[in-house]
Chains A and B, each alone.
Chain A
Amino acid sequence: MFDSLSGRLERLGTSLRSRARLTDADLEEALAEVRGALLEADVELSVVRAFLDAVRERVRGENVAQSLTPGQHVIKAVHDQLIEVLGGTTLKVTYASKPPTVVLLAGLQGAGKTTTAAKLASWFKQQGRQPYLVGTDLQRPAAVEQLRVLGSQIGVEVYSESTDPVSVARAGVAEALRLGRDVVIIDTAGRLAIDEALMAEVREISAATTPHYTFLVIDAVTGQDAVHTARAFHDSLELSGIIVTKLDYDARGGAVLSARGVVGRPVVFASTGEKLADFDLFHPDRMASRILGMGDILSLIEQAERTMDPEVMADSAQRMMSGAFTLDDFMAQLNQIRKMGSLGGLMRLMPGMTKDMRKAAENVDDGELNKIEAIIHSMTRRERREPQIIDGSRRSRIAKGSGSSVAAVNQLLKQFELMKKTMKQMSGGGMPQLPGGMGKMAQMASRAAAQRGDALPPGFEAMASGMRGAAPTVTPSTGGKGKKKKGGRVTPPKNR
């Protein structure tokens, strides 16, 4: 439904693309698109206005870089401004000299406070701390029970009693002190910002426990209301930061920008899934790309750094480009992909993917990888090196050995050949019509290969800013031959 902002700006017309300089009229036209994109991303109206003013200043104050089209220039300014607003201030979590460090969580109902409390506790635990959870949500039925269950999952004790929230909080901190815990996380009941009685109560909790950190927990799908909520909580509680939840949803998360804009405090943590491990420090640059509908290449690199063997991957990718590529290499690559997590999860982070492609990728069944692996494992060493020797009887043997069918083996071999051919073509400079993101990616690969050992290849930025919503239709690359028959479907699955 949403187009990436870059796509919108590219479509603004040739005037914006071909001209060397931006006229004021061009800029206003572009900013109107930016306004639309930000509003669709749920950024609050007055925050949008302030933001556009800042971008206008920024664009006017800069010379258009030679390498950028005016459209890209605007995107870059928007991106930079987003990063500045989202990450202008950072919060380093430090610990009180006299433990325990008290952390108070507040927010609307359903923002995810209880889950966040447990995730935060788990995060502190990873930092080598001994967290302690205090459940003061005595209002929602079974909220404390939920906290207890989560606490037991991460091995953190939970304190609560059925008196009243303020005394539970006070007693909880005292108990943590007695037990020698150095971080106390206080979960509070969800409350509406306009509910005076409940806001007074959370103020009392805050006064009774003098938290070192007070975090507002806000939901990434929140709309225009984010500013009211953030402002009201900030006025009441003097927030030290914001925690954003549900970043795994397909919402753009403009609420983060709104809340950040009003409160003027950094977004510290981000929660990206239902599992307790899906929680980390917030990265403004990634959020900026997300609001603009770009991929998240940095997360990908980070994930790669943790898990993959760059030597293997770089070598096999290079061999793939050069055409000297065997099924063994293919296997090695499969294993690396596995290590990085699910294929779908991986593709989600990739820039240059359209929403449809992203969605299709989400639903890629990793079981397919197992099948492919089984087939390749059932080949002899020689077959893997020289797949052309695989004749009919070998095929049926492989099919039997891998518990699949001859058709499946055929399909794999055919696709492997096709892939090899395409890759060779690509590295030979002749870019076949690959799906948008893929073509870009291949370009990148060859460029990066040319200058390896360098820092982040400059192409990355160009890719991030140059992406144009990717190809509207995912055209299959038919290699040199064209007209594949039934087995040769090469289009990534569209929406299912």
Chain B
Amino acid sequence: MIVWWIVLAVIALGVIALVVRSRRQRRLSHVVLEPERAPMPEVLVTQIAPRPEIDDSPGLDRRLASSRSIFERVRSISVHGALAPEQLDVVEEVLLRSDVGVATTTALLEELRANGAPDGVAAAIRAALMSSFSADRSVRTSADEGRVPVWLFVGVNGVGKTTTIGKLAWHETQAGKSVVLAAGDTFRAAASDQLQLWADRTGADIVRATEGADPGSVVHDALGRAQAHHADLVLADTAGRRVNNANLLDELAKIRRVADREPGQVVETFLVLDATTGQNALSQAQEFLAAAEVTGIVLTKLDGTARGGIVVAIERELGIPVKFVGVGERAKDLLAFEPAAFVDSLLSA
């Protein structure tokens, strides 16, 4: 209970107090001796550490080619295609470099060892990865009779939630649907303005409020508007939030409840995930799943050098399917997720 936290803090602070006190005393005795602060040097960087060489990590195929002769020999020995350690090393390296993560990589390598590789390592690892993507990735666009379908977008800061909504608004309006955007990010400066520009571009309707307004009420108003105008879909933005703060997650859960109340119905909750994110993405997915019942992932910024391998771990462990990928800044640069293409790109990392 709280008292114990206080005790803990008191003891710690007591220790710290002693340190602080002794520091202060020392400082007092030194104060006379200390010379005027020397002028700052003009040099900007005092010393440059040598740059370590980074392997250029060519594609799996090329790397495997070098060990192919070994592999051929291995295959001629065993019908089941036992794997040479150096081949596994190559696979491990490729997977780790794609942010698949240590645990998942180890698990995949185990599978590989157990099943062997009758058709080659590349094919085997490809099959193992493909089997990770088994969830249903259809996208729900319709709600129960009389209710307005809502897509809710959640995620940490800077992953591209607002941009993703803009792109999806474009897709949906292109498909002839009437869309209402709810500018639920009332925290980040000018986030509503950013969404407004997308609304202008796509012809979607938008409901926004002033900075600092209650995001729940924005969503609520958007639902009212959507119902009044018989809109087909509401896309609700939320502020980026870190997941190690329960208050922020509670707020999100509340927004979701508001969006799911009559006349609204949340039919998809998308976790927007940045492909450059490392292992933290897994804890993001866990927390957002718990707080907002995430039904799908939008993996953004896949057009860079990042592979976004962490979604393998997320789909394997949490069963959240990736539904869209973002591959650029233009509205068109949002595609439905295709496991095969994704796996190929992972392995060519």
Residues of A within 8 A of B (CB): 1-2, 36, 39-42, 44-47, 50, 85, 88-92, 94, 97, 108-112, 139-143, 145-146, 148-150, 153, 192-194, 212-213, 219, 221-229, 231-232, 240-241, 246, 248-252, 254-255, 261-266, 274, 300-301, 304-305, 308, 310-314, 316-318, 320-321, 330, 333-334, 336-337, 340, 343, 346-347, 350, 359, 361-365, 368-369, 372, 412, 415-416, 419, 422-423, 435, 437-438, 441-442, 444-445, 448-449, 452-457, 460, 489-493, 496
- Chain A residues with CB below 8 A from B245, complex form: 362-363
Partner of A316, one of B10, B45, B166: B10
CB < 8 Å A-B pair total: 336
B301, A192: Cβ atoms under 8 Å? yes
A-B contact pairs, 9 of them (CB 8 A): A145-B189, A146-B193, A274-B187, A308-B16, A321-B14, A337-B6, A359-B244, A372-B2, A449-B18
Q: Which of B67-75, B155-163, B167-175, B219-227 contacts A (4 or more CB under 8 A)?
A: B155-163
Q: Does B305 contact A (CB under 8 A)?
A: yes
Residues of B within 8 A of A310 (CB): 16-18, 20-21, 24
B97 within 8 A of A: yes
Other-chain residue from A88, A153, A337, A412 in contact with B9 (beta carbon distance below 8 A): A337
Contacts of B24 in A (CB 8 A): 305, 310
Residues of B at the A interface (CB closer than 8 Å) are 1-26, 40-55, 93, 96-99, 101-102, 156-160, 163, 166, 187-191, 193-194, 196-198, 211, 242-247, 274-283, 301, 303-307, 310, 329
Residues of A within 8 A of B280 (CB): 42, 221, 249-252
Q: Which residues of B contact A274 (CB under 8 A)?
A: 157, 187
Chain A residues within an 8 Å CB radius of B211: 149
* Contact in complex: B17, A317 (CB < 8 Å): yes
A442 to B8, CA, bound (A): 8
Contacts of B191 in A (CB 8 A): 142, 146
A474 nearest in chain B by CB position: B4
Of B9, B42, B282, which one neighbours A94 at CB under 8 angstroms?
B42
Supposing A89-B48, A94-B40, A266-B45 touch, asked if A347 and B9 sit within 8 A by C-beta, the answer is yes
Q: Which residue of B lies closest to A297 (CB)?
A: B16
* Known interface pairs A248-B242, A453-B22; A437-B10 also in contact (CB < 8 Å): no
Q: Are B15 and A448 in contact (CB under 8 A)?
A: yes
Q: Which residues of A contact B18 (CB under 8 A)?
A: 310, 314, 448-449, 452, 457
| List of B residues within 8 angstroms of A300 by Cβ | 12, 16
Residues in A neighbouring B11, C-beta threshold 8 A: 317, 320, 438, 441-442, 444-445
Identify B157's interface contact among A148, A246, A337, CB under 8 A. A246
CB–CB B5/A455 < 8 A: no
A213 to B7, CA, bound (A): 46
Which of B98, B158, B282 interacts with A1 by CB under 8 Å? B282
Chain A residues, Cβ within 8 Å of B281: 221, 223
Other-chain contact of A46, B13, B43, B54, B156 (Cβ < 8 Å): B54
Min CB–CB distance A88 → chain B (angstroms)? 5
| Most chain A CB inside 10 Å of its own CB: which residue of B20, B101, B194 | B20
On whether A490 and B4 interact (CB within 8 A), knowing A140-B194, A317-B10, the answer reads: yes
